[in-house]
Structure 1
């Protein structure tokens, strides 16, 4: 069983409006509402791959109830901490080939909420073999909260995959206890290190030799259509992916995490782990629905992903 964590989930609402008008009435047809949040996308793709998954985080109010309802429709097991605040909506207005987003900040958690969730998290760790943590922290939680979660996983010998950025990621990296895997992109890597990381082998290799990354088993630097640059142990790999017709790239990073987690859980080779991760990310980009892959296309895309070990 894989555990996915989303600390600040939302209901994602998409409003397609062909002629969006400010300071006027806009009527909408074809509204789409989904249970949103990076970890929920991870959970959906893991479920579509036929793996056991349970998802957790913090929810409240009628919005929280809707999220649980939607997950239950997809038969995704969930065990959230319930709070007496309303979870958030995230609105995307699709207009004129553009996307305008209105993102609520969500609830502010208390010290009691923090302690209660960590207790729930520790209980969930007894029944899982791998954890993924995705996205940003809600207000009220300390920046080292994910670090605490990684440490608790480490105490139980459970690998933790982290997909976050900024101070939350820095707090994890300065700890003596390292996560099993991280998945920054080049922009996040540059911001983290305070340098301009270029999208080439030498610049990326140099960046990943920083002492902060020592002890992390897997570092997957996502590069969009250019694939990924990967450090596994002391080895480096370049992953190239086929050109596709991109329908909706949102959630592809989450789908990549899902494929990675499933392949690692099955103790696959380095090559298969990376090909699987890239394949699920690509498949998500080929679909209109976020956090969805058409598994019928898996083998075809998998065979087109190339993994090359880089000789130092």
Structure 2
């Protein structure tokens, strides 16, 4: 079973607009509201792939109940810890031929008692897990080292972990002695971590950056490059993933779908190349759908065969 952690879930609301007009009224014809937060996008895609998955994290208020109802409707197992404050909304304005403007609420503040209660339930859930994914931001009230605590618990039980976060939480995990198995930063996050300025036209410099001592002990580093694919470091070997050009419908959640594909492929005992190709494929499939955190599995092998993996 893959255990997915979402500590700052949300109700994801997408408003498609032909043109966003500032300081005026913008009317939308269709609205999408889904159980969201990066980890829940991961959860849905794993479920659609046929993987065995359980979602956990913290939820509160009527928005928290909405999320649980959505998961129940999709027959996705979940065990969330209840908190007093309301779960947040995350709004995406999709406008002007592929542009995306996001409005993200900060979300609830987690008390020390709630954090401790969640950790008790998390330890119980780990007893049935084989893989762990941790995604997204940390809510207020939890220190930047909170994910490191979860990873330590997983490592003690020899459960590999895939971490997809940024900023202080990512840096704390990398500086901890308890390393995640995989991280999925983009180039901006690599630049922020190391205080450098790289772009995708500098593959050898990216390769050197990923060999920095900060990443020592992390077996897999998947650096996503948007439409240009990804650069992947696995152990001491580097790979380049090239992906087909597609007509993007909704890019929101594609990074989460990538994590889902990677986790699913790991759980299936796939080879290194198969793992990378699966992650790239699910990320693309998400971008082809209007619904965030959703893929059309009927198109999986068509896209999969177009993903090219090479070593360098």
- Global fold match (TM > 0.5): yes
Instruction: Write out per-residue CA displacement over residues 216-266 of structure 1, whole angstroms, 9 at most, x where no aligned residue.
Output: 111000011111101101111111111111111111111110110011112
Q: Contact (CA 8 Å) 2:32, 2:291: kept in 1 or not?
A: no
Residue 209 in 1 paired to residue 211 in 2?
Answer: yes
Per the alignment, residue 289 of structure 1 pairs with 291
Per the alignment, residue 176 of structure 1 pairs with 177
Per the alignment, residue 264 of structure 1 pairs with 266
Per the alignment, residue 126 of structure 1 pairs with 127
Aligned residue pairs, count: 310
Residue 163 in 1 paired to residue 132 in 2?
Answer: no
Displacement of 1:18 in angstroms is 5.3
Structure 1 distance, partners of 2:272, 2:29, is 46
Structure 2 distance, partners of 1:48, 1:16, is 24
Structure 2 distance, partners of 1:17, 1:247, is 12
Displacement of 1:19 in angstroms is 6.8
Structure 1 distance, partners of 2:116, 2:56, is 15
Deviates more, 1:222-231 or 1:94-103: 94-103
TM-score (norm 1): 0.95
Mapping of 1:235-254 within 5 angstroms?
235-254=237-256
Question: Kindly tell me: are residues 48 and 159 of structure 1, through their superposed partners in 2, closer, same or farther at Cα, counting changes over 3 Å?
Answer: same
Structure 2 distance, partners of 1:72, 1:278, is 28
> 2:127 aligns to what SS in structure 1?
helix
Question: Kindly tell me: are residues 302 and 117 of structure 1, through their superposed partners in 2, closer, same or farther at Cα, counting changes over 3 Å?
Answer: same
Question: Kindly tell me: are residues 53 and 17 of structure 1, through their superposed partners in 2, closer, same or farther at Cα, counting changes over 3 Å?
Answer: same
Q: Contact (CA 8 Å) 2:10, 2:88: kept in 1 or not?
A: yes
Question: Kindly tell me: are residues 184 and 20 of structure 1, through their superposed partners in 2, closer, same or farther at Cα, counting changes over 3 Å?
Answer: closer
Mapping of 1:12-161 within 5 angstroms?
12-17=12-17, 28-97=28-97, 98-161=99-162
Deviates more, 1:197-206 or 1:165-174: 197-206
Structure 1 distance, partners of 2:295, 2:161, is 23
Displacement of 1:30 in angstroms is 2.1
TM-score (norm 2): 0.95
> 1:168 aligns to what SS in structure 2?
helix
Structure 2 distance, partners of 1:39, 1:60, is 16
Displacement of 1:102 in angstroms is 2.7
Question: Kindly tell me: are residues 251 and 19 of structure 1, through their superposed partners in 2, closer, same or farther at Cα, counting changes over 3 Å?
Answer: closer
Structure 2 distance, partners of 1:129, 1:95, is 40
Instruction: Write out per-residue CA displacement over residues 68-87 of structure 1, whole angstroms, 9 at most, x where no aligned residue.
Output: 00111111111000011111
> 1:304 aligns to what SS in structure 2?
coil
Question: Kindly tell me: are residues 22 and 231 of structure 1, through their superposed partners in 2, closer, same or farther at Cα, counting changes over 3 Å?
Answer: closer
Unaligned runs of 5+ in 1: none
Instruction: Write out per-residue CA displacement over residues 166-201 of structure 1, whole angstroms, 9 at most, x where no aligned residue.
Output: 110110111112110000000000001111123222
Structure 2 distance, partners of 1:306, 1:19, is 35
Aligned Cα root-mean-square deviation (Å): 1.6
Unaligned runs of 5+ in 2: none
